């Protein structure tokens, strides 16, 4: 069959750099519209410039909570590296919060030295301190409250080091750690004592009269201003999940928490976020409906929204009720590694049934197995999951022969294709999306391809 490989991550799907993993949302956006729309850093910048971030219900809710007397906290990587975050996004939000009447705002800064020069932290701290001083008008308290190197606290990824996240929690939320009068003092002292570059500097807490400037208290508003997801997910879970059990959160009962973006749409991490997906026009569904083509979209619950909402450019509902049929197979509420077949059998049966009906000229479905079981890191379960998908694809190809359809086989991103990774000589299980290209295969029983 004719086949090629498609780039499904980074700039090919609108993310800021090619170090950024693809994900199901941007992948289905791209598949459904055949265009590249701004995602990540570029999308956030545009949302700040046009004001849509501040018009979001999430922003309004967090600000109203802060104006009512709770504190507003910003947590994230303090640099302009534009890989995980951008200090200018933080400064813009601080200014807007002040303009909207927030009296108490605190920054919990993670030092970079990885996406920017290794010992550049003081440049960014100085930039931030000048803005905070400007915003400290009468009755206001805007200050840096805590911090530490990005490779020491808070910003772990792939659940490789939960104690690192716990250390961040103790620092930002509970105000535990070595105290300093300023972030500058902390950085200069640690550099002299350890010789470490910024990303490896230990945690610190800023104090006044021997007490932390600000802890993240129950009921406060918290914004994680990183836009890249891999190192934002674990701390988001700690703030966001009532059933969180990776470490003891003490007397924590909850805050109003939001990420800059939703870092994982499959797992809903976090539940609330500031920047909505891009406004996408001229989707495939719009084109097909304009041509009078009947469509059928199918998946189980885990990916149903992806073959409908995300495929259609983040549009709820149908373009044309008379031409479209959507069907959802309810997913089982069970760990994916315990039932790696998921609903592949049911999806296949429904696809073949609707191909046989000849009601539809265009049908699409998603088998979630490779992604959802891939996230578990359980190798044998992933192998079985992919065997199930292979059988399903075979059945759909057989139906294409019988009923005269062309079959296009592809993916929104990689995951099950890479189940281990080796770093510094140590091989470990990989549960994250891969950066690998995805196959695009054309099967057409009516044509012989050379």
Q: Which residues are catalytic?
A: 24
Contacts of 394 (CB under 8 A, 6+ apart): none
From CA 372, how far away is CA 383, in angstroms rounded? 13
Q: 42 to each of 24, 96, 256, 308, 310, how far by Cα in Å?
A: 19, 19, 25, 25, 19
Q: 166 — phi, psi (to 5°)?
A: -60, -40
From CA 41, how far away is CA 80, in angstroms rounded? 11
From CA 420, how far away is CA 413, in angstroms rounded? 17
- Contact between 418 and 434 (Cβ < 8 Å): yes
Burial label for 146, CB within 10 Å (0-12, 13-18, 19+), is buried
- Which two tokens mark 446? 């009516």
Distance, CA of 131 to chain centre: 29
Regarding beta strands 141-149 and 204-208, do their DSSP bridges make them parallel or antiparallel, or are they unpaired? antiparallel
From CA 15, how far away is CA 29, in angstroms rounded? 12
Strands (DSSP E) contained in 150-220 are 179-180, 204-208, 211-212
Q: 12 to each of 16, 36, 241, 261, 410, how far by Cα in Å?
A: 9, 7, 32, 19, 15
Collapsed DSSP state (helix, strand, coil) of residue 106? strand
Stated as kind and residue range, the H or E segment containing 355 is helix 344-357
Q: 305 — phi, psi (to 5°)?
A: -65, -20
Distance, CA of 333 to chain centre: 22
Collapsed DSSP state (helix, strand, coil) of residue 221? strand
Q: 250 to each of 134, 178, 222, 247, how far by Cα in Å?
A: 35, 19, 18, 9
- Contact between 288 and 252 (Cβ < 8 Å): no
Phi-psi region of 81 (alpha: psi -120 to 50; beta: other; left: phi over 0): alpha
């Amino acid at each position: 069959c004719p086949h090629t490989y498609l780039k499904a991550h980074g700039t090919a799907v609108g993310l800021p750099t090619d170090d950024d993993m693809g994900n199901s949302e941007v992948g289905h956006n791209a598949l459904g519209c055949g265009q590249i729309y701004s995602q990540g850093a570029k999308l956030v910048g545009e949302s700040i410039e046009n004001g849509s971030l501040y018009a979001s219900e999430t922003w309004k809710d967090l600000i109203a909570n802060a104006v009512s007397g709770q504190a507003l906290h910003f947590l994230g990587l303090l640099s302009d590296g534009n890989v995980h975050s951008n200090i200018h996004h933080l400064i813009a939000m601080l200014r807007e919060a002040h303009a909207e009447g927030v009296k108490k705002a605190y920054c919990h800064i993670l030092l970079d030295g990885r996406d920017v020069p290794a010992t550049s932290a003081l440049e960014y701290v100085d930039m931030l301190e000048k803005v905070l001083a400007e915003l400290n008008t009468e009755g206001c308290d805007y200050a840096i409250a805590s911090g530490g190197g990005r490779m020491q606290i808070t910003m772990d990824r792939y659940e490789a080091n939960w104690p690192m996240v716990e250390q961040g929690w103790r620092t930002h939320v509970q105000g535990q750690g070595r105290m300093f009068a300023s972030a500058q003092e902390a950085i200069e002292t640690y550099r002299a004592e350890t010789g470490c570059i910024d990303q490896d500097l230990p945690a610190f807490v800023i104090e006044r009269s021997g007490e932390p400037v600000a802890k993240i208290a129950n009921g406060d508003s918290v914004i994680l201003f990183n836009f890249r997801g891999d190192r934002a997910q674990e701390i988001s879970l700690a703030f966001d999940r009532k059933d969180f059990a990776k470490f003891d959160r003490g007397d924590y009962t909850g805050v109003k928490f939001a990420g800059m973006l939703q870092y994982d749409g499959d797992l809903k991490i976090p539940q609330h976020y500031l920047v909505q997906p891009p406004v996408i026009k001229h989707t495939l569904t719009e084109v097909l409906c304009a041509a009078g083509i009947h469509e059928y979209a199918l998946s189980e619950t885990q990916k149903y929204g992806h073959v409908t909402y995300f495929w259609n450019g983040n549009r709820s509902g149908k373009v044309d009720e008379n031409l479209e049929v959507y069907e959802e197979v309810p997913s089982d509420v069970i760990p994916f590694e315990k039932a790696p077949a998921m609903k592949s059998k049911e999806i296949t049966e429904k696809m073949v049934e609707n191909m046989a009906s000849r009601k539809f000229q265009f049908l699409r479905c998603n088998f979630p197995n490779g992604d959802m079981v891939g996230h578990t890191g359980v190798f044998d379960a992933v192998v079985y999951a992919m065997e199930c998908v292979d059988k399903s694809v075979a059945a759909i190809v057989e139906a294409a022969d019988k009923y005269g359809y062309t079959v296009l086989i592809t993916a929104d991103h990689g995951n099950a294709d890479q189940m281990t990774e080796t770093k510094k000589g140590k091989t470990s299980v990989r549960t994250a999306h891969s950066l690998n290209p995805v196959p695009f295969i054309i099967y057409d029983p009516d044509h012989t391809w050379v």
